[in-house]
Structure 1
Amino acid sequence: MNIFRLAGDMTHLMSILVLLLKIYATKSCSGISLKTQELYALVFLTRYLDLFTDFISVYNTVMKLVFIGSSLAIVWCMRMHRTVKRSYDEQLDTFRHYFLAAGCLLLALIVHEKFTFQEIFWAFSIYLEAVAILPQLVLLQRSGNVDNLTGQYVFFLGAYRALYILNWIYRYFTEQHFSRWIACVSGLVQTALYADFFYYYFISWKNNSKLQLPA
């Protein structure tokens, strides 16, 4: 494992810890998109179908279980926890995320590296992760003001994808048979979606002010 992959994994893990901190410490999910969290749960469930069939390492297995478990826990809290779900911005979180899932499944059936059950769902998870953040970004844009923990959560998610691009570049030059072009292209699309958020995040950080997104 190279340093970019490790840094990406740790940044991804940090984003989840920040989100869990927000939910459990404040008993609030205000500013968080349930639609995005449901898409991420679907991403991990379909990507890690090999969890109990292909053992790579203890680290790999633990990280897969952490991502699946944490995503399901977040969805459960936002839907079922009596206090947390009252703070959910349902009127702002109206993105029709099932269209994203359907479109990504159709794309995976057409564009994949190998026509097998596991590879098609792997491609589906990659495509879906690239656009899963859209409901969250739309919700933040509609609400305008972004609290500190929510802003950090989205920032770490974007940083994780940027680090993975460096990981793919490194692997392309150091591995003879690296050919995960679907992941590379999808990662570039996903990182591009964060560009506007990153701009306003750094402006607020530079000015030591509250993060605000234009409506």
Structure 2
Amino acid sequence: MNAFRFLGDMSHLFSVLLLLLKIYATKSCSGISLKTQELFVLVFLTRYLDLFIYVVSVYNTIMKLVFVASSIAIVWCMRYHPAVRRTYDKSQDMFRHYVLVGACFLLALVFHDEFTIREVCWSFSLFLEAVAILPQLVLLQRSGNVDNLTSQYVFFLGAYRAFYILNWIYRYVTEHHISWIAWICGLVQTVLYADFFYYYFISWKNNAKLQLPA
């Protein structure tokens, strides 16, 4: 494992921990898209079908379990925790995420490395992860003001993907490894974060609260 992948994993892990901190410390999911979190559950469940089939490494297995368990825990809290679910603003979280699921499934049926259940599910998870953040970004634009923990959560999610792109470049240079589906999905996902990153750095530079244009 190279440093870029490790930093990407740690950024991803830190983003999840920040979101869990927000939910459990404040008993609030204000500003968080339930639809994005449900998409992430679907991403991890379809990507890690091999979790109990074979073990790549202890580190790999632990990270898979953490991401699956934490994503399910977040969705459970937003849907069923008495205090947390009252803070969920359904009227702001209106993105039709089922359209993303359907489109990504069709793409996975066409573009995959091998026509098997595991490989199609793997491709589906890559396509879906690339666009899973869309409901969250739309919600933030509708709400305007973004609290610090939510902005940090989205920032580290974007950083995770940016580090993974560097990881892919490094692997191409050192190992000549190419995965076109992963590369294209990663680039699409990073582009979706570009607008958020711009306003994030503007607010950081001015030491002000993050505000997104409606």
TM-score tier by shorter-chain length is over 0.9
How far did 1:179 drift? 2.4
Tell me the secondary structure at the aligned position of residue 194 of structure 1: helix
Letter in 1 for 2:25: A
2:195 aligns with 196
Structure 2 unaligned segments of length 5 or more: list them. none
Give the distance between the partners of 2:81 and 2:123, measured in 1 at CA.
33
Give the distance between the partners of 1:123 and 1:60, measured in 2 at CA.
19
Give the distance between the partners of 2:179 and 2:85, measured in 1 at CA.
39
1:69 aligns with 69
Q: Output the TM-score relative to the length of structure 2.
A: 0.99
After superposition, where does 1:93-108 map in structure 2 within 5 Å?
Answer: 93-108=93-108
After superposition, where does 1:28-47 map in structure 2 within 5 Å?
Answer: 28-47=28-47
After superposition, where does 1:172-211 map in structure 2 within 5 Å?
Answer: 172-176=172-176, 178-211=177-210
Q: How many residue pairs were aligned?
A: 214
Q: Deviations over 1:143-197 (max 9, x none)?
A: 0000000000000000000000000000011114x22111011000000000000
How far did 1:94 drift? 0.6
Letter in 1 for 2:193: Y
Q: Deviations over 1:75-133 (max 9, x none)?
A: 00000000000000100001010100010000000011111110000000000000000
Letter in 2 for 1:144: G
Give the distance between the partners of 1:114 and 1:30, measured in 2 at CA.
41
Give the distance between the partners of 1:87 and 1:125, measured in 2 at CA.
29
Give the distance between the partners of 2:158 and 2:178, measured in 1 at CA.
23
Tell me the secondary structure at the aligned position of residue 159 of structure 2: helix
Give the distance between the partners of 2:178 and 2:8, measured in 1 at CA.
19
2:143 aligns with 143
Range that drifts further, 110-119 or 34-43: 110-119
How far did 1:3 drift? 0.2
Letter in 2 for 1:192: V
2:54 aligns with 54
Q: Output the TM-score relative to the length of structure 1.
A: 0.99
1:15 aligns with 15
Q: Deviations over 1:32-53 (max 9, x none)?
A: 0000000000000000000011
Give the distance between the partners of 1:16 and 1:111, measured in 2 at CA.
29
Give the distance between the partners of 1:117 and 1:91, measured in 2 at CA.
36
Q: Deviations over 1:5-48 (max 9, x none)?
A: 00000000000000000000000000000000000000000000
Structure 1 unaligned segments of length 5 or more: list them. none
Give the distance between the partners of 2:77 and 2:179, measured in 1 at CA.
35
Q: Which runs of 4+ in 1 moved over 3 A?
A: none
Give the distance between the partners of 2:174 and 2:179, measured in 1 at CA.
14
